[in-house]
Every structure is written in structure tokens, then in C-alpha cells.
A and B are shown apart, each in its own frame.
Chain A
């Protein structure tokens, strides 16, 4: 089994998010990045399959060099090796241009893959696009929100949960295939510090020199969607009337106010 697991070096929400005023895209260069938290479910899922069926797990990420620590921590978790696709030309990519680079990297460097595993979504963009887009690039079947799987010959039998319908479904999918892992469905293993410290030699960095993609089809220029504006989210203004004190009194005031509003 050759399993590729995607990870995004994401901007943890606690840190200051910086937006490029010219392009409206996220600045990731020089910002401390960590592996997207939901990718840990994906990594755990991939490692469990490897432990059961043998083979290797390769992490793949498109990021600036500051994305290396994220890959190191995944290697610390037990991933065998990692590929970082990093090039200034890739900066500012939307999900189409990102999936393009990921798919071409797989075709060139991991052509004999069996399975691609992604997290359900990223914590900083939450689009859940990349898995389906990569499946479309590679022309392979895919299933989202998976929490359990077994391999039967050339098919993977996946079990998934649709939260909004409250249903569990089982699918048989021919490999190679893409699956996204339901967030919070796995218990990610601990990171081994010694493995993490020795991780650097297991990371292969490639650039567009090796991939040879048309610069017009990657990064900001190769993105069909364009961020035309960015503004702080404003929520509708509220009255903010504070009521406190003895609860009977507070209840009376609140009921009176709601009567005035015509709600009661």
C-alpha cells in the first residue's frame, strides 16, 4: 500500500492573520505555520491502514519553506517521508491551482500510489475542495467523511458518516482513490520527539523546476477565482441591553421588553 496524505501548513487562528493588500490572499511566508489540525485525523487514518496492511505513508504539502515544521511533526507521528512542493510561483493559489500542483506532483513522484487521504477541511479556509478537485485532476473515485476502512484486493471498503442526515454509509471504491477523513473521528497518536528531530532528512523539497508546470497555471495567475476584496466580518448591530440583579426582577424586565418588541 502506498498512501499519500495531504497536509496544509495552516495559519493557526491564534496568530495574527496577515492578508496581502494587493491580492487579498493569505500571507504564509514568514508566518509560523502548523499542520492543519484536521489533517491529524487523516494521518492517523493513513498510519492505521499502513500498520494493518503494510506499505508506506508519504505526506505531501504545497507550502513556502515555513511549512517544513508541519511536515516534521507528521513524520514525528510516524509518516515515513514527506514531499514539500514549494515555489514562489505557487503563492496565492486558489483550490484549483493548489490541486493542480498536488496532482502533478503525485503523477511525477508517486505514480504508483494506491490511496490519497485528506483531512475533512482546513481550519483557516474550510472549503473541503482539495480532495474532490484532486480526484477530478487524476480521474479517480473519491468519498468524503470516512472514519473507517478495510482493503479488499484492489478495492477499499469505506465507512462514512453524514452528519446532516445522521446516516452511516458503506461504499466499495476501486483504487486508486481519494478519501477525506471525518474530523474528530480518529485519536491521533503522539509525536515522537526523536523522530521529529531527525525528520529533516526524510523531507524532499521540489520546485517548479522539477514539475515544469506552466507558470500561468499555478499560484495566483493560475487561479480561476480572484479575491476582489477582504473586510472584517461585521455582525448586525444588537441592542446590548444588560439585565442583571434579582432573577424575578430580571425575568419581569425581560418579558416586558419582549412584549414591547411584539414578540410575546
Chain B
């Protein structure tokens, strides 16, 4: 009573929790892969001390060691000179071959733009299911099913999805959703170099260039700061960010922006917070002139304390804040900056 296009799966053969480790250029791995290794360790423990594995395409031993320090027991480096540069189909084919060979029970992919591009092709090639943008992952000890929890219908609902009949079970997770585990240089593991053949290349990279987006301040990226002050459409203009930058500097933090502020060209893409931007977990988040659409709230659920400053007491962000400050930011922020300076001088 199952689809005849699905090759029979013997679940017993599938073991371990594996992660695709995307490179960030040719020097290091992207953080999202390391974040997923942390989650993979946790799931592997729940599955009775399974092995944690990683896959890197055209990576270095140094990258593989970094993955081991962050929780991997085994790292496969796909070695094929043809795969030095990224192309979607060829990468997906190569990764699918390695996953097919090592048969992990669970395979996780970081949902960067490139990761999203690869994930569904890999799943389809392995004739298995995939769940996009999971915000939580659990296991059902009885069935060993991965519970893939994802927001859907504009973030209003949380769906729990299983892949009961197929293996591996696949899920993608956006950067920042899970914390990066501690780097432990005493960890050891196995590094395997796999020579993978790919079909005749049908995609070629012609050129790659960085778009020069003017940053608004020389401040750290939003995903690594303890304090984030973010502005939205309610600022009224790019000028408004000046006050936010002053406040952020006083708090040793950084500035972020809502999708609307980025679309208006007031802040660069790299500072966008929310479902289509960065997921952040600061100690303090201050939202200025941001209405708080669900897509924005999805990016800040892990913030310890949320302060919202908005003239509209009924804006959704005010319902989702620890401190809802009703008023005009042009008056509130200077007063707040003055108060903080006074506090600094006292200390």
C-alpha cells in the first residue's frame, strides 16, 4: 500500500544524525552548519548515542577539524576539483551520493539561500521527504521519527511534520535558530575524503561579485550582538537611524532593521531581522517604529528582553514586548540616551 516509486527502505540500516556543512568561501564554514551540529548531538543522544556526521563539498581538513570541535564524530570531505565552485545541480548530486552511501537516519541542512536551493533537490533524489525552515526538532523515542516543527501560514500555525516511511528524514533550518555549541578542541573524530563523480556539468558559474551596500554604521553584525536596536517604517526616514546608532553605541550593541526599513533603502540587507532576514537571540532587543508583523516576531522570539517604542499602543509589537513604551521615538530616544549617559557617569 505504498508508492511503488519509493525504493524499499530498511530503517535499521539508517544510523546517525548528519549535517551539511556549507563553506563560507574557501577558508571557513558558515555558522549555521556548526549550529546544526549542536542540535544533531542533542538528537543523537536521544536516539541512543548515535553518531554525528558532517559533509563538506571541496573543503579543507582544517574545516573538518572545526566541525569536529563543534560536535561532529565523522566528517566527509567531497573531493572533486570540478566542485571548487558552487553550482546547484552538481552540488546537490554530489551531496546526495554521499548521503546515499552513509545512510544517516536524519540529515539536516542550513537554510541559507544556497542551502534552500540544494535541500529539496537532494531530498527528491533520495526519494524522501523534507520539511523547510524548522524552528524546533525533537525525536519520538517510540518510532525514532524526527518531529519537524515549522511555522506555516504566515507564522500563525506551528505544524509538526513526520517522515514515517522514508529515510533519511530531512529538514532545513535557518541560521540563528539554534545556538552555536561551545568549541571544544579536545574533541577528536574521523576525517574521510570521498572522491565523488558527478554527471557532465550543465551549469557554469560565469561571474560573482559582491553588491556594495552602504552600511549605516561601523557596528557589529546583528547575529552576534548582545544588544540590538532596530528601526522600522515608523522612523519615517533614513535620518531616524542616527538616534538608533547613538543608542546602540551607548549600550555596546548594534543596529538592525525591519523588512520595511530595508525595502525603503534606510538600512542594508545584512541588518534585516525577521523570518526573511536574520534570527537573533540578544539579551536586549529594542524595536523602534516597528509594527511587529508575525514574520518579524519570528526572528526575535529568543530575545531575553524586548522593549518596543511605538506611538500606537495596539501595534502587535506592543503585545509582544516586555516594556511597551507608547510615544514618539524622537522624544523618547533622546531622553533615554541622556538617562543612560547619566548612569554611565555615575559608575
Residues of A within 8 A of B (CB): 11, 13, 17, 19, 24, 26, 94-96, 99-100, 123-133, 135-137, 140-145, 157, 161-174, 177, 214, 216-217, 221-236, 238-244, 247-248, 250-252, 254-255, 257-259, 261, 263-264
Contacts and interface: CB of A to CB of B under 8 A. Distances in A.
Contact of A129 (B114, B130, B284, B340): B130
B99 to A, nearest CB: 14
Interface residues of B, number: 92
Given A236-B301, A240-B324, A251-B335, A126 B161 contact: no
A244 to B, nearest CB: 4
Nearest to B329: A247
14 contacts: A17-B156, A127-B120, A127-B132, A132-B117, A140-B202, A143-B203, A144-B116, A164-B269, A166-B268, A240-B322, A240-B324, A242-B313, A244-B325, A254-B325
Contacts of B203: 141, 143, 171-174
B55 interface: no
Contacts of A254: 307, 323, 325, 336, 339
Interface in B318-347: 318-327, 331-332, 334-336, 338-340, 343
Contact of A132 (B4, B124, B202): B124
Find the residue from A24, A224, A226, A241 having the highest chain B CB count within 10 A.
A224
Main secondary structure of the interface of B (DSSP, over half): mixed
Contact of B158 (A13, A232, A252): A232
A175 B304 CA distance: 50
A108 B17 CA distance: 39
A136 B121 contact: yes
Nearest to B148: A225
B204 interface: yes
B4 A247 contact: no
Nearest to B1: A216
B7 interface: no
B118 interface: yes
B153 A244 contact: no
B213 interface: yes
A247 to B, nearest CB: 4
Interface of B: 1-6, 87-89, 92, 112-114, 116-121, 123-125, 127-133, 147-148, 151-166, 175, 202-211, 213, 268-270, 276, 283-284, 294, 297, 301, 304-307, 313, 318-327, 331-332, 334-336, 338-340, 343
A133 B87 CA distance: 16
A170 B326 contact: no
B159 to A, nearest CB: 5
B130 A171 contact: no
A257 B323 contact: yes
B259 to A, nearest CB: 10
A263 B283 contact: yes
Contact of A226 (B161, B276, B322): B161
Given A136-B124, A233-B155, A250-B335, A94 B129 contact: yes
A172 to B, nearest CB: 5
Contacts of B116: 128, 144
Contacts of A95: 120, 130
Contacts of A217: 3-6
B324 A214 contact: no
Given A164-B112, A232-B157, A128 B206 contact: no
B120 A129 contact: yes
Given A126-B133, A214-B3, A141 B324 contact: no
Contacts of A229: 159-160
B5 to A, nearest CB: 5
B206 A255 contact: no
Given A144-B117, A171-B204, A251-B335, A258 B284 contact: yes
Contact of B151 (A94, A141, A233, A255): A233
A242 B113 contact: no
Given A222-B3, A226-B162, A233-B151, A162 B326 contact: no
Nearest to B326: A244
